[in-house]
Structure 1
């Protein structure tokens, strides 16, 4: 048994806490809201986020110092916009160096940093190689119900990734390891953009043909940008790439799909975010990816179109027309070519 603190009591933090508790660990679930901590401890429920019974082995905390005292690992599962603030608080109270694992998916606008880079910026004892990422096709609702799920953990220090693998793996939550932290983080972040697009497509009333095209060409865009930034193209064919892309683009559990669906039906962004009531990471990520693409001169027409819908109020149907009438080109010019170039040398 190990003592593990999970920072962030939303749906994903709660679900991962359940996995850890099922594995026999002493789990401290931290939230910045005192009333939420008290509710979890008295009712063993967190109904705003998940309609499940929380195991009694999970104790909720509002005080961060108490939550991380004597733990061997900390799992950070807060929205990307809160990463820096939470890590600044953590830096003040963390008494010893422990394994830091994050399960947040996004890119920081302006700085264009991945979550692991943001964490190592704020934690004085940690470098980039000290941070582990957990990512993959994993709806919290299904994980909490112990339905079969597979994910990947990655770190520059593979021994830290193996420790995270041991913490989480069980008969219904299978965990693989990968050394490609850039690809794993970017795959998990960028797929949210394509999920917004899939939701927009469904909201417009388009069918499976359109969504299949969007997912496939979206994967090409993800790989195009990811490899430019140093990722292994094979990572985008794995669980945090195509796996996460499929589940996020095709399920009503997906916040990003639901937000896109509302946009496709004619709602404006402010109304959509109010209706969702929870963070939609793809909205923030599309801004960062659009900036990345411009700076790196990487062609990302789907991302550009979704950016125009969200931030420039462009009509989604006009964006579809724009995409369908692009200049003729060959298909095998993206992920397949990247793989061929990399492995034919």
Structure 2
């Protein structure tokens, strides 16, 4: 099997590179700078590390984009001239581009302006990088409009401790992975206000129903949101101590400024940006998402977190 290049010296990118080495002999992690590459080699990862696209991409068949969603377009644009024309592009980022509202596979196709001889797919599921890095079991969904491509990518990632399933609902898988981060922000707000697990569970259930309606309005299949990439991912992100989005919501509810929280973090909380994209899409497409919009307003408009929660209880009282 030819080389797989992972773009992104992120926690998830490094985990993906190590995960791929279980099945692929030639994996290369592409960093931004030589200093990053040198530092990463010092950690003794079982994969190639390079900061030179011209040495990383020759003979490669797959590229995994493991960069934050808001930098996806910039990263692909910067590397476009170095990319072989027959690559299979795999997005493992979970977010929506703020300015366009586009999913990550849409951004890839938008920048490259091609349908692709090999195609584009997404990998998404309840995949907390730290747990996978410790060898704990997990599952994920490979989404592609091509069943053949989905099977190929399954063979790259799948193992007894990392179960992969295929789906042709790319829209649903990507939206579920992005929107669950907004739900996790709200779940964190519930915890930050000290409202208890009963209230948090009800919040997750009602907000996930809103996510499903939102996703279906954008062309997703409802059943996708009940599977591993949907319900599985939202549960992990809303209850785990490893969840960055839950942490941000909790800290906002406790009174910290969002800017201060984000500046102190070493990793990206994708839900913060996705909340902006959701707010924009609700206005542009005239799709209702009152709970997610209230989360956006609590983050960016000074809307009291307590009132955002009250919006949730109002939806409950209406039986939604």
| 1:34-183 aligned within 5 A | 34-44=34-44, 54-55=45-46, 58-127=47-116, 130-183=119-172
Is this contact kept in 2: 1:193–1:286, CA < 8 A? yes
Q: Secondary structure at the match of 1:66?
A: helix
Q: What RMSD in Å do the two structures reach over aligned CA positions?
A: 1.6
Q: Is 1:303–2:292 an aligned residue pair?
A: yes
Change (3 A) 1:158 1:326: closer
Is this contact kept in 1: 2:203–2:312, CA < 8 A? no
Q: Take 1:322 and 1:170, find their aligned partners in 2: how far apart are those partners?
A: 43
Is this contact kept in 1: 2:70–2:98, CA < 8 A? no
Q: Secondary structure at the match of 1:189?
A: helix
Equivalent residue number for residue 337 of structure 1: none
> What's the offset of the Cα at 1:128?
11
Q: Is 1:246–2:235 an aligned residue pair?
A: yes
Higher mean alpha-carbon deviation, 2-11 vs 297-306, is at 297-306
Equivalent residue number for residue 341 of structure 1: none
Q: Please, which of 308, 312, 318 is the counterpart of residue 307 of structure 2?
A: 318
Equivalent residue number for residue 8 of structure 1: 8
Q: Secondary structure at the match of 2:288?
A: coil
> What's the offset of the Cα at 1:326?
5.0
Structure 2, unmatched stretches of 5+, are none
Structure 1, unmatched stretches of 5+, are 45-53, 332-345
Q: Is 1:201–2:201 an aligned residue pair?
A: no
Q: Secondary structure at the match of 1:133?
A: strand
Change (3 A) 1:88 1:218: same
Change (3 A) 1:129 1:217: farther
Equivalent residue number for residue 28 of structure 2: 28
Change (3 A) 1:129 1:212: farther
Is this contact kept in 1: 2:86–2:116, CA < 8 A? no
Q: Is 1:233–2:222 an aligned residue pair?
A: yes
TM-score where L is the length of structure 1: 0.89
Is this contact kept in 1: 2:154–2:164, CA < 8 A? yes
Change (3 A) 1:201 1:220: same
Deviations 1:125-145 (A, max 9, x none): 445992110000010001111
Equivalent residue number for residue 176 of structure 2: 187
How many residues align? The count is 320
Change (3 A) 1:128 1:105: farther
Q: Take 2:117 and 2:209, find their aligned partners in 1: how far apart are those partners?
A: 27
Is this contact kept in 1: 2:291–2:311, CA < 8 A? no
Change (3 A) 1:298 1:125: closer
Change (3 A) 1:205 1:67: same
Change (3 A) 1:269 1:76: same
Q: Take 2:12 and 2:98, find their aligned partners in 1: how far apart are those partners?
A: 23
> What's the offset of the Cα at 1:279?
1.1
Q: Take 1:117 and 1:129, find their aligned partners in 2: how far apart are those partners?
A: 15
Q: Take 1:63 and 1:282, find their aligned partners in 2: how far apart are those partners?
A: 31
